[in-house]
Structure 1
Amino acid sequence: METVHPRQRSEMIRIKKKHGPRKGMGQHVVLGSKLKARYIDELKFVSARYLNKEIYVRSTDMNRTLTSAISNMIGFYCSGVPGKDYPGKKEAHLWPHGSEGFSIHCFFVEL
């Protein structure tokens, strides 16, 4: 499968989707976990639990960039407490295990 994305008004780029979004999502979860190890576990730069006053995540309003941001944050904040940071008991099996809720702020980019 191949998708065409506008880079500039006069230019188009082709992106081959051999593995679909799964591979990139997995790569972002791994990247998020590495960032967590560095900035939460090692440097204690931010809290282990999500606090919106400590971190601000931005993404363009495109599915692929939003998915990347979400996947990255799932890896970064993966130590949540059921019933406190994400749904507990009845709904917990539907939630990515340990992932906390977080905000992704979108901005519009004119192409």
Structure 2
Amino acid sequence: MMGHWCRICGRDKANEKFSGKGHRDHICKECAKKPIEERDAIEQEEEIFGFMEQSNISSKNIARLNELKSSKNKRISEIALIVIEVAKVKPHKKRRLKILAEDHRELFAKVKESGLIYAHGC
């Protein structure tokens, strides 16, 4: 199928499932109907998970995480805080989970409970 990819639901859909603006923004008609807060939360959560996938959580990433930690969405602010803590302890990805598991058990538990451990790509 030669379609288009929706960045909100993450699915490939036929071109007809996208409006003109949605086509450009990679948002299908179905997801465009969702409240903007819900769409923003989905994108922000993916952004935070992306920071955990990177080889280094940079100072620019931390600045962005500080913006996200003041989000009205509780889930977004919680996982942003967890990633900030991880960045303080081990900003580089190599052996990050091992160090968290051995030396920072409480933080490792938070990473595991939040699902961020799956973003690590181990």
Question: If the length of structure 2 is used for normalisation, what is the TM-score?
Answer: 0.26
| Structure with the larger RCO, 1 or 2 (CA within 8 Å, 6+ apart) | 1
Q: Quick check: which one's strand share is greater?
A: 1
Q: So what's the TM-score if we normalise by structure 1?
A: 0.28
More helix by share: 2
